Amino acid sequence: MKLRTRIALVAAVAVAVAVVLVSAAAFLAARRELRSSIDESLIDRAVVIQRLADDPKGILGTDGPMRPPLGLLGGRGSTFDTVYYQVTLPTGEVLVPTDQPPLPIVDTDVAVEHPSLEDVYVDGVHVRMIAFSSDLLGVVQIARPLTEVDATLAGLAVALLVFGLVGVLLAALAGLLVARSALKPIDDLAEAAEHVAETQDLEARIDIVTNDEVGRLAARFNAMLAALEQSRDQQQRLVRDAGHELRTPLTALRTNIELLGRASSYSDEQRAELIEAAEAEVKELSALVGEVVDLASDRYAEEPLEDLMLDEIVEACAERAERRTDVQVRVDAEPTPVRGRSSALTRAIDNLFDNAVKWGADGGTVDVTVKNGRVSVRDHGPGIDESDRERIFDRFYRSPSARSTPGSGLGLSIVKQVVDAHGGAVFVESTDGGGATVGFELPST
């Protein structure tokens, strides 16, 4: 069942429930008002007769003490038109006007103790009857037909039913129209999703015409498509660039292996040079594969976030860099708490140190500053050209001056990926006196 159909059904059911409740309340109120008027008229007549019974001379007349004249009680054609009377004398004799059918006999004891109003049928006519006791008259029963009341209530019930059904149908139609209009953006969203699923076309977008929840959903969908498109482009570029970068060390390694296959024609010194070159290519190839895997899989994302001291991580990385190289690393660090992933930040800082050592002057130093979530690593090398600053964090990017040096161009890309995952930003700056400053800044806690 479509969503718009469900909305229309919900609207129809809601209106139907409301109509039923309102109609029932209206019907019961009308029924109570109509029947209360009948009850009041019956009670008024009972009061009149009770007063007459209190005057024996007025009610007994010439018929004797045991037979009150029915003319005083009234009947059909009297001033109490369409009213039925019946008297059950204390002797047990039942007096009924000649022009009316008898009323059902009531329990004398109940009538004496509890005057009651009830519905009964007399010759198929629905009547409302009151029964009460009088010392002189015995049990008196007065009834009025409910024919007009029942007809009025029946007509009201039919009217409520008809108007209720019309209201439900109109509500369902209105709900369907409103749902169709309100859900059109969602239909467009569903069609766009189906189009993307069928064609893999990530350039599809949805026109945003409202600022409501549906408009925000469309905006998020467009943002998701843009992110997927960017991710696919980056993946394709990564594969393409990785294939290009892998081709060079693989070719050199294959060449060295082929030359080693003819080792009988080479001296021991030449064979040692070939083996050393092959080992260097294998090492570079291993490093490149590891960096490609890090970029493609983002394996550090699985590490949980924790509260860390960024200055302590930098100092540990600086000590490790000094052990591996002959470069002095000078650290100026202030306590800097951050929330992040220890292994990922360690890898990013190691890459910054490797980049600074690689481009620093021979025998120079690397200066590191840690303050307020900002890590700055400065080398004392030739610096970075203005045209290269915006691209040094791109994958596999290597400036013309760096193409003759070892490396894959992925080190700073990994730094940017780690920093982006932590909600930070990378930067590169020129430094007075030579060299360059590369680093990142994280939100501090």
What was the pLDDT predicted at 28?
Answer: 92
Q: DSSP string covering 38-96, please? A: HHHHHHHHHHHHHHHHT-HHHHHTTS-TT---HHHH--TTSSSTT-EEEEE-TTS-EE-
Q: Which residue has the tokens 């003819």?
A: 262
Give me the residues of the chain with pLDDT under 70, please: 1, 53-81, 108-114, 182, 209-210, 234, 236-249, 260-265, 281, 284, 287-302, 361-363, 395-409, 433
In contact, 96 and 103? CB cutoff 8 Å: yes
Confidence (pLDDT) at 401: 53
Coil/strand/helix, residue 375:
strand
Which CB contacts under 8 angstroms, 24+ apart, belong to 281-285? 281/249, 281/252, 281/253, 281/256, 282/253, 284/249, 284/406, 284/408, 285/246, 285/249, 285/250, 285/253
The residues of the chain that CATH labels 1.10.287.130 are 213-295
Q: Are strands 125-134 and 138-145 parallel, antiparallel or unpaired?
A: antiparallel
309 within 8 A of 371, measured Cβ to Cβ: no
Q: What residue ranges of the chain are covered by domains with CATH 3.30.565.10? A: 300-441
pLDDT of residue 244: 55
Contact predicate 376/351, CB 8 Å: no
Report the relative pairing of strands 328-333 and 365-371 from DSSP bridges.
Answer: parallel
* Torsion of the alpha carbons at 399, 403, 406 and 407, rounded to the nearest 10: 50
Contact 71, 83 (CB under 8 A): no
What 3-state DSSP class applies to 145?
strand
At 168, which amino acid appears?
V
In the CATH hierarchy, which fold is given to the domain comprising 213-295?
Helix Hairpins (1.10.287)
pLDDT tens per residue, range 377-429: 998 887 777 777 777 877 666 655 554 555 556 778 888 888 888 889 999 88
Where helices occur in 262-362 by DSSP H, the ranges are 268-297, 310-324, 342-359
CA dihedral sign of residues 96, 97, 103, 108: negative
Measure the CA angle with vertex 224, ends 218 and 227; round to 5°: 145
**How many other C-beta atoms can be found within 10 angstroms of the C-beta atom of residue 240?**
11
pLDDT at position 65? 41
As a whole number of Å, the end-to-end CA separation of the chain is: 50
Q: In angstroms, what CA-CA distances link 349 with 315, 356, 371, 445?
A: 10, 11, 14, 19
CATH architecture of 3-161: 2-Layer Sandwich (3.30)
Contact 141, 131 (CB under 8 A): yes
Q: What are the Cα distances from residue 118, in Å, to 65, 68, 258? A: 30, 25, 117
Task: Out of 3.40.718.10, 3.90.550.10, 1.10.3210.10, 3.30.565.10, select the CATH number for domain 300-441.
Answer: 3.30.565.10
In total, the chain counts a number of residues equal to 445
All CATH 3.30.450 domain ranges in the chain, comma separated: 3-161
pLDDT digits (tens, 9 = 90+) for 309-364: 999 999 999 998 888 887 888 999 999 999 988 888 888 898 898 888 887 766 67
